[in-house]
Each structure stands twice: as structure tokens, then as C-alpha cells.
Amino acid sequence: AAEKSDAGVGVPISNILIIIAMQTEALPLVTKFRLSEDTTESPFPKGVPWIRYHGIYKNLEINLVWPGKDAVFGVDSVGTISASLVTYASIQALKPDLIINAGTAGGFKAKGACIGDVYFVSDVSFHDRRIPIPVFDLYGIGTRQTFSTPNLVKELNLKFGKLSTGDSLDMSPQDEASILANGATIKDMEGAAVAYVADLFSVPVIFVKAVTDIVDGEKPTAEEFLQNLVAVTAALDQAVSQVIDFINGKCLSDL
Amino acid sequence: AAEKSDAGVGVPISNILIIIAMQTEALPLVTKFRLSEDTTESPFPKGVPWIRYHGIYKNLEINLVWPGKDAVFGVDSVGTISASLVTYASIQALKPDLIINAGTAGGFKAKGACIGDVYFVSDVSFHDRRIPIPVFDLYGIGTRQTFSTPNLVKELNLKFGKLSTGDSLDMSPQDEASILANGATIKDMEGAAVAYVADLFSVPVIFVKAVTDIVDGEKPTAEEFLQNLVAVTAALDQAVSQVIDFINGKCLSDL
């Protein structure tokens, strides 16, 4: 089917989609891979703020999609709704072989996370979709395993943990209980939404998430997040670059 | 632009999109308006569980879209992610003049809501997207006014209030504080997501929401919701039918 990845056994990956929620996280990669912003024609319909950067790097066609600035408020369109919409529209328009969702995250020191750590993700869940009706509860949590990349994990020597996603930057006691139940080491605001949509179309997704703030620490999340965003983004973008270099020339089954 | 409604001043509304999250809520309207389910061809890509019912009723082309059953868990695909995706895909494929988001909701007795009440909605907000950074906080809440329909509200004599949306059926203390701050009389799991996407494309949306459970009452929400779902759906669907009959032959500016 047209929606399925063409990169099967023995066929090298040729088309990568990188989804990044914040401009600050995206721009260093745009520079590094010499990607161009769409000017005259966009793969997306008129009205949406989504920005696609694209280019060729080694043997890979790279599309980097950032959901753009909200037209009303002028801030990055963070969160699960924009993430799911851009994932959907990008899969339809760009037919990626593999999706990389990169971004910053909060980490739990009780689980070993430190500021600046970069994580690969083994599975994703939601922590703010509580529906206490049998089966609906599991749908709300929506745990999904990510695409398995044992060679990539070994080669890059990054940390490896579970990710929990919700639409708040802070963490309520109910969120915390759900995150613990999900067994997560890191929390973000997009990952599980990207995974949900990619899963509809059987497109493999991997996650690269860098820790900007310690969720179970002393400092308020928002303050710590803003303090560390730029420095941690450098670590994030270095890891994404290493991932891309590793992927180049390989098949999905080699990852 | 192709995405904009063609129903301007003096042009009758001809193409209505009804978005309903649950099959139980949708099927009586499918019967009432004699809508047909897509069989061989769908306006949506392969992989999604979304179901479109369509037909002609009086002078209106009606498309009713239900996000369908989750492929993994088999339950209705409720919540903001599916609602935003089906709204996006339906606007692209069906170019509606007007969207009606109909469904059940929780109501606050302190604000005058009773089981079985049907509400029109004046504005929508989110209550579970807390981002305590200036301007991001307002983006998270995302308050939007709905399309103004003073004649429709007057004619149908329904209640009128603010709606707050979140991905949980229950309500945490943080949710409750946000809902109160939003001034909401009713809470649901889709409305503000539908409004967000419709607003990207300047498609007018109205909301018809029927109260299945009292959020600030004694009974657990899930139990009360399930007890009242079928009976309240009858009131909901009657109200939607009255809305459709009122809209028939009118222009957007007549509503």
C-alpha cells in the first residue's frame, strides 16, 4: 500500500521524516543538514502553520517538520494535537520510511535521569487520558512499543527508557501516578501522539529525547526547562546527527 | 481559497459535516437522516478507523464522521487526537460549509446543568494543557469563540454555556480549577480540538452537547455516564435534528 514503508529487507532507507516541536530544537539541525525551508510550495494545505525543511544528506532525503508558531499566540505549536496532525499530514504527503521524533523532555532522577542525558525510547504511553471504564482505560493510556533498533542503541551508547506523554509541562499528582504506573523515565508533550498516528500507517518511529529538567527535583519545571533548553538542544541535535549518520546506507532491519 | 466555506452572504448552506465521537451517539442520526456508510471508497486513507456516513436530506448534503473503533482496543476513538485528525481530514476531503460537533458532556450543577440538558456552546477551552510559561499558558488553554448563531439559539430554546475540553473522563483537582477558571458549564473530550482545527481553515463550528453526568455531584462520573448514555443520546439526536431542520435553506448569516 502507498502508506507503507518501501524500505523493507534489503532496501536501504531513503526517506527520513524528523518531527520536532520547537523551533529552538529544530534550527541547529536545519543548519547542520543544510535543509531548505519551503517557500513557494508546501506539502501542507493553506491555513496550517506547519513548516517543512528538506534536503539531501548523503544517501538520505531528509524532511524535518516543525508545527510552526501558533497563528493566534505566536508560540511554538507544542502538544499532542499539533504533533498528531503534522505526523498525519507528513505521512500522507511525504511517505517516509522512518520517523524520528526528537525533542526535549523532563526526566526522573529516581529513575537515573540527569540534565543533558539523551534517551532512546522503548515504549510510549499517555499519562493524562484517564478514562475509568474497562478497555477505554487501556485505550487512554495507549502504550505502544517503538520500532526496535538494537544496533543503533548499542552503537550510540545512549540511555534507554520509557516515555510518557501529556499536554501539560507541569505534573499534577494524577499525572505523576500515571507516569509511575507507565514505568516512564522521561515525560514529554508529543511522543505518544506521534507514535499513535505512525502506528495507524505502520510507519516505524524512533524517539530521541534530551532531558532539560528534573521532574522529581526541587526546581520548578518551567524555570529549569527554559534555563537548559539551548544547552540541552545542542546535545539533542548531536545525538540526532549521529542517528542520521548511522542510518545512512542501512536497511530498517539493520537498525 | 478552496479551504474556505463557499456559503457566504446570500448563499444557502449546502454541505454540513457532523463530527460525533461515539457510535452510540452517531447511529440514531445515521438512521434518522438515512445516511449511508462508505463501503467501496472512503474519503480517508487506508489505515485509519474513521467512518463517514453520508446522504442528502432536504437541501443539504450531510456527512457524519465518527472516528471509529480503535484497531488495538476495539473501543470508540474518543478524545482530542482522533477528533483533531478527523476534523482535519474531513475538512480537506469534504470542504464543509459548517461543522456541527455533537456529543455528550459532563455538566456542573453549580452552573445550572441537569442530566439530559442539551447545550449550545458560546466558547471552548482546554483544561488539561497547563504550560506555566507566559503566552504558552494562553496557547494551552486555547479559548476560542464558536460561530455565533443567535437565531438558532433563540429558535431552539436550548441552554447556552461555555465548554471545557480534556482527554480524561474523570476530573482531577487541577482539571477542576482550570475548568472553573475557564468559566465552563460543561466538559467534554473533543470540542476544543475540533474548534482548533476548524479555526485553522476558517470553517465555522457549532456545538451541541447533552449532559450525561453531573461532574460536581455525588455519583462517580463513569457510572453515571454509562447509565445515562442511551437516554441522553435520544435528547442529543433530537436537538441535532432540529438544528439541521433549522439550517436547511438558510445562509450562515441567517443562523
Smallest Cα distance from B66 to chain A, Å: 16
The grid coordinates listed for A180 are 509511575
Is B254 in the active site?
Answer: no
CA distance A171 to A182: 14
CA distance B83 to B194: 6
Tens digits of per-residue pLDDT, A22-52? 999 999 999 999 999 988 789 999 999 999 9
Smallest Cα distance from A198 to chain B, Å: 10
Q: Give the chain A residue nearest B133 (alpha carbons).
A: A222
Smallest Cβ–Cβ distance between A169 and the set B46, B78, B131 belongs to B131
Q: Point out the residues of chain A with pLDDT beneath 70.
A: 1-9
Smallest Cβ–Cβ distance between B200 and the set A48, A73, A133 belongs to A48
Catalytic option among B128, B175, B213, B224 = B213
Q: Cell numbers 441537569 correspond to what residue?
A: B114
Query: How do the pLDDT tens digits run along chain B, 255 residues long?
Result: 344 455 556 799 999 999 999 999 999 999 999 999 988 789 999 999 999 999 999 999 999 999 999 999 999 999 999 999 999 999 999 999 999 999 999 999 999 999 999 999 999 999 999 999 999 999 999 999 999 999 999 999 899 999 999 999 999 999 999 999 999 999 999 999 999 999 999 999 999 999 999 999 888 888 888 888 888 999 999 999 999 999 999 999 999
Is A25 in the active site?
Answer: yes
Catalytic option among B25, B76, B128, B237 = B25
In a domain, A1, yes or no: no
DSSP designation for A251: B
Which domain CATH number covers B75?
A: 3.40.50.1580
CA distance B75 to A158: 37
In a domain, A145, yes or no: yes
Smallest Cβ–Cβ distance between A81 and the set B84, B131, B220 belongs to B84
Q: What is the dihedral of CA B27, B28, B33, B36, to 10 degrees?
A: 20
| Pairwise CB contact (< 8 Å): B72 & A200 | no
pLDDT of residue B149: 95
| Pairwise CB contact (< 8 Å): A170 & B132 | yes
pLDDT of residue A40: 79
Q: What is the dihedral of CA B136, A139, B48, B208, to 10 degrees?
A: -70
HSE toward the beta carbon, residue A166, CA cutoff 13 A: 30
- Contacts (Cβ under 8 Å, ≥6 apart) of A46: B1, B2, B3
- Residue (of A76, A65, A123, A124) closest to A99 by Cα position: A65
Tens digits of per-residue pLDDT, A217-238? 888 888 888 888 888 999 999 9
Number of other CB atoms surrounding residue B198 within 10 Å: 26
CA distance B255 to B148: 8
Smallest Cα distance from B171 to chain A, Å: 9
With residues binned 3-state (H G I as helix, E B as strand, rest as coil), the percentages for chain B, rounded to 5, are 35, 25, 40
CA distance B102 to B29: 11
| Pairwise CB contact (< 8 Å): A168 & B131 | yes
- Set of chain B residues whose Cβ sits within 8 Å of the Cβ of A190: none
In a domain, B8, yes or no: no
In a domain, A3, yes or no: no
- Contacts (Cβ under 8 Å, ≥6 apart) of A4: A201, A202, A203
Residue B69, burial from CB neighbour count under 10 angstroms (0-12, 13-18, 19+): middle
Instruction: Give, in order, the Cα–Cα distances in Å from A226 to each of A169, A211, A238, B133.
Output: 11, 12, 19, 9
pTM comes to 0.95
| Pairwise CB contact (< 8 Å): A139 & B226 | no
The residue type found at B163 is: L
Instruction: Give, in order, the Cα–Cα distances in Å from B102 to each of A253, B97, B177.
Output: 45, 16, 25
Smallest Cβ–Cβ distance between A193 and the set B81, B132, B135 belongs to B81
**Number of helices followed by number of strands (H, E) in chain A:** 7, 10
**Domain range enclosing B210:** 15-254
- Set of chain A residues whose Cβ sits within 8 Å of the Cβ of B136: 73, 75, 78, 169
- Set of chain B residues whose Cβ sits within 8 Å of the Cβ of A177: none
Number of other CB atoms surrounding residue B221 within 10 Å: 21
Say whether B78 sits in a helix, a strand or coil: coil
Residue B122, burial from CB neighbour count under 10 angstroms (0-12, 13-18, 19+): middle
Number of domains chain A is built from: 1
CA distance A144 to B72: 10
pLDDT of residue A246: 97
In a domain, B6, yes or no: no
Say whether B198 sits in a helix, a strand or coil: helix
Letter string b/e over residues A152-166, b meaning 16 or more CB atoms within 10 A of that residue's CB:
bbeebebbebbbbbb
In a domain, A2, yes or no: no
Smallest Cα distance from A20 to chain B, Å: 17
The residue type found at B40 is: T
| Under 8 Å between Cβ of A53 and A64 | yes
ipTM confidence score:
0.94
CA distance B79 to A139: 10
Beta bridge partners of A12: A251
Q: Give the chain A residue nearest B192 (alpha carbons).
A: A81
The grid coordinates listed for B247 are 439550517
| Pairwise CB contact (< 8 Å): B81 & A196 | yes
Smallest Cβ–Cβ distance between B168 and the set A81, A128, A200 belongs to A128
- Contacts (Cβ under 8 Å, ≥6 apart) of B235: B116, B118, B210
CA distance A191 to A158: 18
pLDDT of residue B2: 40
Catalytic option among A76, A117, A213, A237 = A213
With residues binned 3-state (H G I as helix, E B as strand, rest as coil), the percentages for chain A, rounded to 5, are 35, 25, 40
The grid coordinates listed for A30 are 536545519
Please report which helix (H) or strand (E) contains residue B172, including its range: none
The residue type found at A100 is: I
Q: Give the chain A residue nearest B49 (alpha carbons).
A: A200
pLDDT of residue B102: 97
In a domain, A140, yes or no: yes
- Set of chain B residues whose Cβ sits within 8 Å of the Cβ of A69: none
DSSP designation for A148: P
